[in-house]
Structure 1
């Protein structure tokens, strides 16, 4: 057997190497510092590192002061003293030495502390080495890290600003994002100015922080010697890299901003669709000059701000257009209604270009009545608004013609169906008799109304309803049920569209309950109550439009019925005619109108006779007392003919033709109302108050 272990390896001479050659080859010197005597021995490599000849070092650390600057020496002494005191076994430090040619050289030392059995330090043995390459590598790494950090900050600045601007819908939103303290910190600037181009001038719309406004610069011409004017003219950014450059380039502006201690500035044109819409100025305190990367970032920032501004301007224009069109479709004004107080409000949704189909209307009707309408056409576009405008006018016309509430709703549904549109509409129509307080409701797929008491309590009024307008005609279900309630003086009706109560993620009934609570806790004044309810809608920020109508019956000025009698007179019914005459005579005496009894009986008889002679149907005679500024007795004769009465010359017999002349001469006021299925001729007589 052959022992191959020793013969297989051919070891070099002098292996393993001794510590001294290893240290020398790695440019490391050694030292041995005796703390009792204070002497410190250094080898030749250590002498070379300190750039000392042997005759220049006497073995004491103090003699190294010729190569170690005082600041470095104090720092090393403090480090070693601390290590000796706190029981450390070793220490290490980077320090600089001044070589014979005056240059500074980074050096590193590592020392091991040897102690006796009592823990007292007796010796320090260690090494010193050249650390120039290490420090250079570290500096380069730090420089690269600083560069990456700066690039990240710049990227973050653009991304953060762009993210904040993404939520800006109006020009003021853009100004708020840029001008507040967070915006300045995000941009890394000490101060900011922004102007918009308006009619050949630059309108300063933002400056920050507070107190940095320069008097006389709110409006400046584009041809004036200001930096924002320059970038608007040239469409190129302007970088000012020193206070001296600022002072020499813009002598009119510089004296006003010296207190801001500006060291540099960047002015950027805000360009959208190849035209300047404004300019942005960023002013810095602790910055000198702009690198190529920084300039590219600032250009990108200006482009992002310009796009946000243009988007905000278009949004405001579209919103103004939408609101203007919507306002034109709604009633220009709400007429004053004797005996009632009203308040109406409309709030558009938060989407700028969308136009809603919500509407309201208040319709004065004869006989102390008023119609209140609230409705909502399906959709949010110009077509919905156009349908809404037509439907509102048609419904108003049907109500003014005297049709019953159910007939008004049925005819409006038929009209919408005949428009050949795919839209339907919900609607709630309330006809209020302010004299009696009787309210007739007809609901077409709409929300129920609310009733508020004078003491503030509020409740929902359940109203029987039918299909929405358009759908009821399509499915042949035009019969709308009528719900009747009594509205006492001081009570308030609230009609609204679903934009007042709907909120994403909530149930409609919950929204109605919230609205009921708000109405009950709101102010008594109708205008203030309407404003408060709309404020809640604005704070909620819903997408849907909202319309609101409040109507309160007043007790002081409203005509009130002191009594009411009614008689039906059929054609060719002498007994019915006789009963009607007796009813008139009895009512006149019972209601204290004896002084005008003959006049009232004569005119009532004339109206009843005309209705029976000139129409083929029956007549309905109604008598009532109205109290208000003056007490009045009202006579109404309703028939089924739509032909209006007219004055005629008396015939040969001298009898026919004088009816309307008598009415005009004897009654205090008279008139004719359309009632859908016919007409109503009425007259009123002022009578004294009963004692």
Structure 2
């Protein structure tokens, strides 16, 4: 059930996407917050971030229902405002016991302006998205409306144009709100941190925001970052920004392709060569985590200054085993491949393990 509720995303050509989710309860893998990134039409992305009131099993179950409902209406088409209105109507008809906030928007290429995108969005009692451009961070505060479950009037929508280099940040209040920091002060801190970001890739910007704002979260945290790459590709080796990246993915085969994409983009951003080796090692490590683990797969990358370090965490505490292959020649060779390309090992972590590998010079 947890796996079916976990957030997922797709990759959209022309956009650099990064997502993050952390529940407030340490032993749980899901809570009331969620995100989704969908390809609602060819080349058109749908992005949603939402927050169900509460942190218990009931909140997680309602979150799963809402995520499915929003997905269904998003694929049927219509404006973001109409998607939220229809979601609101259905949840009222189901007599959902709690309210929820959400922001839903679509990103589509701008006709006649290569590299630019149009972001149309609507909000249901949710915090405004943030647009970062040339060191300036502004809130996209149009398209407001009541919480899902309490709407009685048709929502309005908002619209923004994104140009190469722009970054769009959607988030839940767990990122910014603390007992000692009121929500308004948290919003100001987010705008300041977003304006200071130095990284030129979505994952790097996400790492900077988490380091600045989410050191001691008191609530679920969900973040979606969409960046429009600049012409000429991402970053140079001398680029500023954090030299670590992380991704959390459901333990299913789609995680393997996502992990390869993440490594390719990060190696390009950091100016690291031997990209093919990195892609092969991360594929094998994540494939093993998907095959033998459950829940979530955590991928972390570190630029050590002496090579790329890859860490993959899964929920299975059993150590990886180096085999000579199975009798019928299918499987069993993954750790052998890693062994030839990298120094590697493993350690226990939480209720599972972390398998690490540092690419070997050849």
**CA deviation map 1:206-234 (0-9, x unaligned):** xxxxxxxxxxxxxxxxxxxxxxxxxxxxx
- CA distance in structure 2 between the aligned counterparts of 1:485 and 1:519, rounded to whole angstroms: 18
- CA distance in structure 1 between the aligned counterparts of 2:155 and 2:204, rounded to whole angstroms: 34
Q: Do residues 464 (structure 1) and 173 (structure 2) align? A: no
Question: In structure 1, the residue corresponding to 2:88 is in which secondary structure?
Answer: helix
1:524 aligns with 200
**CA deviation map 1:118-147 (0-9, x unaligned):** xxxxxxxxxxxxxxxxxxxxxxxxxxxxxx
- CA distance in structure 2 between the aligned counterparts of 1:341 and 1:411, rounded to whole angstroms: 29
Q: Do residues 435 (structure 1) and 110 (structure 2) align? A: yes
**CA deviation map 1:16-73 (0-9, x unaligned):** xxxxxxxxxxxxxxxxxxxxxxxxxxxxxxxxxxxxxxxxxxxxxxxxxxxxxxxxxx
Gaps of 5+ in 1: 1-323, 559-691
1:508 aligns with 183
- CA distance in structure 2 between the aligned counterparts of 1:384 and 1:394, rounded to whole angstroms: 15
Shift of 1:426: 0.2
**CA deviation map 1:634-681 (0-9, x unaligned):** xxxxxxxxxxxxxxxxxxxxxxxxxxxxxxxxxxxxxxxxxxxxxxxx
Shift of 1:538: 4.4
Q: Do residues 331 (structure 1) and 7 (structure 2) align? A: yes
Q: TM-score, normalised by structure 1?
A: 0.31
In 2, are the aligned partners of 1:494 and 1:550 still within 8 Å (CA)? yes
- CA distance in structure 2 between the aligned counterparts of 1:419 and 1:544, rounded to whole angstroms: 26
In 2, are the aligned partners of 1:427 and 1:469 still within 8 Å (CA)? yes
Instruction: Compute the RMSD of aligned alpha carbons.
Output: 2.3
Question: In structure 2, the residue corresponding to 1:495 is in which secondary structure?
Answer: strand
Shift of 1:490: 1.9
In 1, are the aligned partners of 2:176 and 2:214 still within 8 Å (CA)? no
- CA distance in structure 1 between the aligned counterparts of 2:211 and 2:232, rounded to whole angstroms: 31
Gaps of 5+ in 2: 112-116, 234-362
The change in CA–CA distance for 1:344 and 1:358 in structure 2 (over 3 A counts) is: same
**CA deviation map 1:300-356 (0-9, x unaligned):** xxxxxxxxxxxxxxxxxxxxxxxx93x641234x21101111100012215646952
1:481 aligns with 156
1:596 aligns with none
- CA distance in structure 1 between the aligned counterparts of 2:11 and 2:27, rounded to whole angstroms: 33
Question: In structure 2, the residue corresponding to 1:489 is in which secondary structure?
Answer: coil
Describe how 1:178-217 pairs up with structure 2 within 5 A: none
The change in CA–CA distance for 1:328 and 1:519 in structure 2 (over 3 A counts) is: farther
Equivalent of 1:422, from 88, 93, 97? 97
Question: In structure 2, the residue corresponding to 1:421 is in which secondary structure?
Answer: coil
Describe how 1:98-497 pairs up with structure 2 within 5 A: 325=2, 328-332=4-8, 334-350=9-25, 352=27, 355-436=30-111, 437-453=117-133, 455-472=134-151, 476-477=152-153, 479-497=154-172
Shift of 1:470: 0.8
- CA distance in structure 2 between the aligned counterparts of 1:380 and 1:396, rounded to whole angstroms: 22
In 1, are the aligned partners of 2:6 and 2:30 still within 8 Å (CA)? no
- CA distance in structure 1 between the aligned counterparts of 2:91 and 2:227, rounded to whole angstroms: 30
2:174 aligns with 499
In 2, are the aligned partners of 1:442 and 1:480 still within 8 Å (CA)? yes
The change in CA–CA distance for 1:538 and 1:499 in structure 2 (over 3 A counts) is: same
- CA distance in structure 1 between the aligned counterparts of 2:28 and 2:159, rounded to whole angstroms: 40
Which of the pair is proportionally richer in helix?
Answer: 1
Shift of 1:419: 2.4
- CA distance in structure 2 between the aligned counterparts of 1:489 and 1:538, rounded to whole angstroms: 27
2:209 aligns with 533
Q: TM-score, normalised by structure 2?
A: 0.58
1:95 aligns with none
- CA distance in structure 2 between the aligned counterparts of 1:533 and 1:491, rounded to whole angstroms: 16
- CA distance in structure 1 between the aligned counterparts of 2:82 and 2:169, rounded to whole angstroms: 23
- CA distance in structure 1 between the aligned counterparts of 2:146 and 2:192, rounded to whole angstroms: 28
Shift of 1:468: 0.7
- CA distance in structure 2 between the aligned counterparts of 1:445 and 1:426, rounded to whole angstroms: 5
- CA distance in structure 2 between the aligned counterparts of 1:557 and 1:412, rounded to whole angstroms: 40
Point out which structure has higher relative CO (alpha carbons under 8 A, 6+ apart).
2
- CA distance in structure 2 between the aligned counterparts of 1:420 and 1:557, rounded to whole angstroms: 51
2:317 aligns with none
Shift of 1:418: 2.3
